[in-house]
Structure 1
Amino acid sequence: MTSARSALSQRAYFYIEQGYSVVPIAPGTKRPGVWTKEHGWRGSQGWVRYNDRLPSLIEQQHWETWPDAGIGLVCGKLSGVVAIDRDYDAPGTDALEKIIPYSPVKKRGAKGYTAFFRYRNENSRSFNSNGMRVLDLLSDGRQTLMPDTVHPDGMTYRYLTEDCLEEMKAEDLPYLPENFAEQVIAVLAPYQTDDDRKFQRTTHKPHTDTAGSIATDITYSTAYFHDLNRAALAQLHAWVPKLIAMAREERDGYRTIATWRNCERANVGIHESGIFDFGGNYGMTPIDLVMAEHGLPFGRAAEQLRALVDMDEPEPIIFTNQRAPRIQAAQLVDEKGVTAVEKPAGLLRNTITRMHEPSAVIGTVEPLATLQTPIGRTTSQIPSFVDTAPGLLGVITNYIRATAHKAQPEMALAAAIAICATVMQRRFRSQYGNYTPLFFVLVARSTEGKEHPLACVDRVLQAANLSNLIAGSGYTSPGAVHSELMRKPSHVVIIDEFGKWLKFATARGNSYAEGALDKLVEVYGRNDGVLRPPAYSTMTIGKGSLPVGDRSVHNPAITLIAATTPNTFYGGLSDTFVQDGFLGRCTVVDIDAPRQRTRMVDKTPPTDAIVKWCIETNSEVEKFGNLAGATSADTPPVMIPFMFEEECQLLLVPFEDELNRLKDQHEADGLDVLLGRTYEKALRLSMIVAKCTRPEENIVRAVDLQYAIDYMLHYDLQLLESVSRKRARNDTDVQIKKLVGYIKNAKNLKDKKFLKILAKGYLPHTKALNLMSMTSKPFEELIRTAIEMGIIVMSRGDADGYAGKVYSLVDP
């Protein structure tokens, strides 16, 4: 993990935004720490100052540079919260469970859980049973580790509830009973010794740490758990179907439901690159997932996982309950003398089996070992279809990767597909009326190599003498789109600053650029038809002017490939734009990876195999008719039949059923449109895959279609998740309309925590915040606006089983 991806750098801002005080935690420990280049991690003597004030912006920015920093929540008066930290493994814990009140926010630790409550002058207390800690009341002077922070045993803290603390304010939490400490004492009394009773009478003062160095080096036991998690990610099919009951296959992994947080949506992604709970907004390890799914302690979960996963270890590992495995350092040394700590991740990764046999006509794909992998991303974090791109697609992809200053393999594959789509479009037609044009948007940080794949599209087409297929760098109006199609009825448009063009096109008052987007949407659906210009008055047209009817374009074909940065791209996405349909027609390749060093490479020309395929595929139409007549916009081109074999239907039916299910699931959020073209895009891509693999056949086989389905599902579901989290929320009218819809439907919402209040037609604040997928500040502004407009009413729900704010409609 790098500093840029530490738990603290990713989540601290959201806690502080809600008024919670946080401190950095030294990695692999529970101790607040300070990091310097000179001394590394050392204990923090002064962390208690954050009992009295929030970290400043300068401190936050400084902390974000500290490597692998965890995040600790400072409990007590300033944050407005207290926490009940409960451990399971001691007498009396079952009785304790009966007196601990309900909390909407809980996180899980290695041996129990932590529940959060609103502060009411409680003092920090600790309670033992038979010499073992069973409960801590964390208030002033105490801190607790928050989700995404790694426990010393190797597990990752995570939320057990659907609600997350950083998404709600302390005032929305319930209070503990005023006599809670007395209730705990009474419940534990039968199980306690005299020393236990003496200990719990002590009110604990704010804890200070020493300034000595903190050992954060990986231990042998932790190294073992790291290797187990890494092996499990590489062998998902060996354990996920057996241990995760509700998991279903998707793309190159699985998706399941976070039942441990009372969720109903499949919002946990399980892939080789990692496991992420999108509802809770945190990552998980395989051991974490098994713990959550079965309610097991850390050691038992690791045992269950280990029984199903193959690992490189000379001796069996013997676990003890809830403890690290008993393992000696010598056991971790294999026959080559490589220890588990030193062993590279590649030794645990399974060999990928290619779906397609290489074609002798296409040429040999360059060995992947000679190609660079992005810094900060392992091979397992790159979708498997990148390294298994079949035939000519693999050849072009590897050419782009080999000539890149910075490694972007997913973008290289997208550019390869765009090249092949451009060469084939307007010439090859399936029996279902499918063609090959596709729209790609490459999203990555500035200066991180996204320009190179775009340049290679131009370079390959130029090398094949197909510059007539390259259009300008964008369109300024719908008329510009139509005019370019009149000149080049089949072309590729390469847009470098797509995000800026997108903002320009979606800005209010810019009807010309907005019309260009609408025209692209129209062209996308007219591949198998005729694009006609709008009808205008001809009264003022001179005799020599071209009649409108002569400006029709038969079978227009545009492939688009564009690049932008995440902030620019997602900052320009409003709800209205998502609904317009253009985005759903795009395949968005969004790369979230650390910055890379520049690699000095030779700018070699495309290989002979690439150039030959482009030329032969483009000229194939000569076998069927007059090539000259096929290049004119006002004449239908000669079509080359491209057939889907019957076995493809066995894939298409369940594929469409799954898409329909996902669209129904996301219809309420207005995101179903992002999956509206996935089916069609997969059909188009499968034609490209088939032509790149077996150029002489013009037949789509089931293996071609499966590759295309995996590819399109991966990126369209990734886009859906990204848009739901990152899109701009600047259309107030649309947002208020959505909020009103949720309030109207409150009685039909299924949520056990808010059953009574929902049944009366009130929508709790925390539920509304979660449904709207907004952070607190913009949500509160939206609420104020809706109240001022006389649309909703805010009240308290104390008498209805919920202590926080609730919303109802003024005129239901």
Structure 2
Amino acid sequence: MTDTKLKTTDEIAWALVEQGFTIIPLGSPFEKITEFFLKQRCKGDEEKAQQQWPKNPLVSWKQYQDKEPTDDEIESWAQRWPYANYGIITGKNVVVVDADSKEAVEFMESGKVGRTPWKVKTAKGKHYYFQYDNSIEIHNSVNTTTKIDIRGEGGYVVAPGSVHHTGVVYEWEIDQTWPINSVHDLPYLSRDDITQIKAFNTEDKPVGNFGFSVQAYTPKKHDGSPVEEGGRNNAAASLAGQYITAGHDLKTVTQLVAQWNNGNPAPLPREEINTTVASVTLTHLRNNPEAAIPLEHEKPEPQQPTIEVQDEMPSHLYKVPGALGELVDYANDTAVKKQPALAVQTALALGSLICGRYYKTDQDNFASLYFLNVAKSGEGKEHGKKIIESVLETAGYGDLIAGSGYTSTGAVMSQALAHPNHITLIDEFGKYLESSHRKGNSHKEEAITQLIEVWGRCDGVLRPQTYSTMSVKKEDVERPQRVANPAITLFGMTTPGTFYQCLTPQLVRDGFLGRFLIMESDLPMQLSVKPDARPIPKSIIEWTRQVRTKLVGNLIPFKPSHEMPKQHVLFFDEKSLQLLDEFEAELNDKKQQLTDSELYVLLTRTREKAMRIALILSLSVDQANRVIHHSLTQWAIDYVRYLDFRLVDIVTRRVGGSDFETELKACIEVIRKAGKKGLSRRQMRDISVFSRLDPQKEKHIFNAIQGRGIAAFHPVMKTRGRPRLECWIHADFCTNN
């Protein structure tokens, strides 16, 4: 007790803010109880006051449900109450499950509720921290019998680092195996979890083989990602319902759900999958008497259409010239679900890394590029990451693989100082972007700013921001803090929904988006195939090693980052320069058309990207090349033109000049894609762009849609089956109804 009292708690407060929490000061065993609290709140009962004071807010705290306290306010709290406890506002970024008994803790850790890496030991149990899902209203609930409460909107919990009236300190219990940097990276407390908690509190028993009541279950659509124990049945039911609604026969639905189940850490028994599909099928038929679900289609499923039909990318771009073309073939042959367009990105990303820093053109272009692969969940977008890792590890260059993303500007600089030429492979890149723009996560936002700078510093020197050296050791101050020719390759993967949800005007204007080569797969959901299990071709490994060593002599694998390495220069032939000039003129015309909307920013790096790809291709064809042939420059121009013009079209349809216009465009695009059938308000509730709108903004959105004549509202929409209520149809299809 004495040691704890001697320590002021301002450091605890600032650490909580850094993690993304909204905090308020509370009393503590070491702060004097006020007369008002003792006499008015506790009726003079000193024992009661001592018990309740460490949880009592010292300020009028409800205002902080809607706003963050300023730095000055937090500073004043720290000075006024140096030994205060702190509380965390819930229902904003975080929701907390308070398990206040041994039985409650055992239930929370039984697997029936989703796991979280952030827990706090309390005097009687544990607090379990989850990210707040804005699509679900979660209010405070208290259960005095089972001692398991939920702290959501309008509530707060005592923060870790605080002291209970008994002297017990609330202590973090963090699972270090999870890559969690702030509250924005935590798993959500799902509707399924809440249902399980309510069942525990009311001692309800699970119904049937599902492990939950079908009648009471209104599932949030599952995206097909793997699920831990406790949420598998609900996810399986959601997927089965989606596949049935999409028109699949019962056999295919069962195969698709079983295929997803096999990817879970602990798969459900096959019998349980069959029971789940059967139960969802019966429920669907009860709710839709006119529907019919065939057991199996009479005709076999048609073969997957050719690439030209499914994807508008010119056919010649699926074949990368040279050794990297072999890598494309290998990636497709070894994939459970083939994604040819994403395989091209994979090959170019490997080339970007291997050629980075040590090769350049006579126009001072380097090979470093940023790539983003976009595909539906579970459709093979992660295969590229596996391929890159396997090639580098086999070739002996596994140390070129950095961590999955950067948490701050310092993280970018630290990794570049250690490895000036490296690759970062980022899963769920859309969520990484989204979290970087959230309030309270400025470090990730600054990391993105640093990555923007690095992209253009390949031919120069990267220097860190200036910090105070008062507390830094002399030898650290004298160590060179600069990186010559930084060469970072970024390879991200995300789903369309997550990616489009985080598109904002700021992301366009700051130039980060325009530095990427973004490839979205248009292929439909596929059934898995047995992949070729052959090893990586020796020619690819040999090419990787030769490019890194032969042409520039005996390369030092870890040449000091502040020293400029020996570089091999390749020259564009005259025809290449002519093609690039013509391409620049084409880009200028396109940018002129986009000046008013500021989307021209997306094309400011397009020519540079083509030149970097041409450099990679020349070395892919022959490690000894001295001249970049115009056929390779043409391939690079065609590739970048296709991707960047497509990106401009996507952003034009989805991003406006303000946050409201961006949300409006996202809603319009969803209605447009629904076609002549339109979208009912009930269907909209299951789509994220609508479900995350608050009632006031939703009203403004629909007023704008109707007022601008973008879509028409039908109170009752006649169909072959039941009439559909409150249906919106895009103006492009209104004449057909």
Please give the TM-score of this superposition, normalised by the length of structure 2.
0.49
Please give the TM-score of this superposition, normalised by the length of structure 1.
0.45
